[in-house]
């Protein structure tokens, strides 16, 4: 998840964004996808964990596109979204990246600092995995995993994911299970703390 702001906001860094928010408590609006989406939850966690007095505005209709439309209209001040949803607006100059919510800087945008550099431990990483119903025989799970991984290794698929700035991580079923469990350990305490249902 990246944080994007329009040039008219007059800031170029995340610390400047924080200072602006603190100078106008709750007046700075961050538009996100609908309530409960990763961008929305990332915004809520950012405000809470970073002690940043912003207002998170979830868009049930239109999601990030509606938020960006309101940014262009001067009604919203920032958005949080995966790079694929922001790229066109970055290329046109309508938005500028001020932070990425991953543990490490993105290789495609190495100049964009991580939010964790300022708010230690705060990350928000979107991921997609394939799941099978509980009780699916282990040999079936392994065959599905092997077929998926072979497909992800094909040139066309790798190229398309690269165009979308979506890195592919090949994992075994066991590694996938461990990854999801670690994500749960990271996010559930924040869900409870933010009292999200």
- Asked, for residue 179, whether it belongs to a domain, the answer is yes
Is the alpha carbon torsion for 33, 39, 41, 45 positive or negative? negative
- 14 and 109: one domain? yes
pLDDT tens readout for residues 115-125? 999 898 888 98
Convert 78-96 into a string of H (helix), E (strand) and C (coil).
Answer: EEEECHHHHHHHHHHCCCE
Cβ-in-10-Å burial (0-12, 13-18, 19+) of 48 comes to middle
Find the domain containing 190 and state its range.
138-194
- 64 and 21: one domain? yes
Count CA atoms closer than 13 A to 100's CA, side-chain side: 18
- 34 and 101: one domain? yes
DSSP at 167: -
Per-residue pLDDT tens listing for the chain (197 residues): 999 999 999 999 999 999 999 999 999 999 999 988 899 999 999 999 899 999 999 999 999 899 999 999 999 999 999 988 898 999 999 999 999 999 889 888 999 999 999 898 888 988 888 999 999 999 999 999 999 999 999 999 999 888 777 788 899 999 999 999 988 887 888 778 776 55
- 45 and 98: one domain? yes
- Asked, for residue 177, whether it belongs to a domain, the answer is yes
User: To which residue do tokens 């392994």 refer?
Assistant: 142
- Asked, for residue 76, whether it belongs to a domain, the answer is yes
Count the domains in the chain: 2
- Asked, for residue 108, whether it belongs to a domain, the answer is yes
Give the C-alpha separation, 82 to 94, whole Å: 16
CATH number where 62 lies: 3.40.190.10
- 17 and 112: one domain? yes
In terms of pTM, does the model score above 0.85? no
What the block records as the tokens of 57 is 């505005």
Do 54 and 30 form a contact (C-beta atoms < 8 A)?
yes
pLDDT tens readout for residues 152-194? 999 999 998 887 777 888 999 999 999 999 888 878 887 787 7
């Amino acid at each position: 998840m990246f944080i994007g702001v329009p040039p008219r906001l007059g800031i170029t860094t995340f610390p400047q964004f924080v200072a602006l928010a603190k100078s106008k408590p709750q007046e700075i609006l961050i538009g996100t996808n609908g309530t409960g989406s990763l961008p929305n939850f990332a915004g809520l966690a950012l405000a809470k964990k970073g002690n940043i007095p912003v207002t998170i505005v979830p868009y049930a209709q239109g999601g990030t596109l509606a938020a960006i439309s309101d940014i262009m209209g001067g009604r919203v001040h920032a958005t949080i979204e995966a790079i694929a949803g922001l790229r066109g607006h970055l290329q046109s100059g309508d938005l500028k990246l001020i932070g990425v919510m991953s543990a490490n800087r993105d290789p495609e945008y190495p100049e964009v600092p991580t939010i964790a550099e300022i708010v230690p431990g705060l990350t928000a990483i979107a991921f997609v995995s394939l799941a099978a119903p509980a009780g699916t025989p282990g040999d079936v799970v392994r065959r599905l995993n092997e077929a998926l991984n072979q497909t992800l290794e094909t040139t066309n698929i790798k190229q398309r994911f690269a165009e979308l700035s979506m890195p592919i991580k090949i994992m075994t079923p066991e590694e996938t299970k461990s990854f999801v469990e670690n994500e749960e350990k990271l996010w559930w305490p924040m869900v409870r703390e933010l009292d999200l249902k």
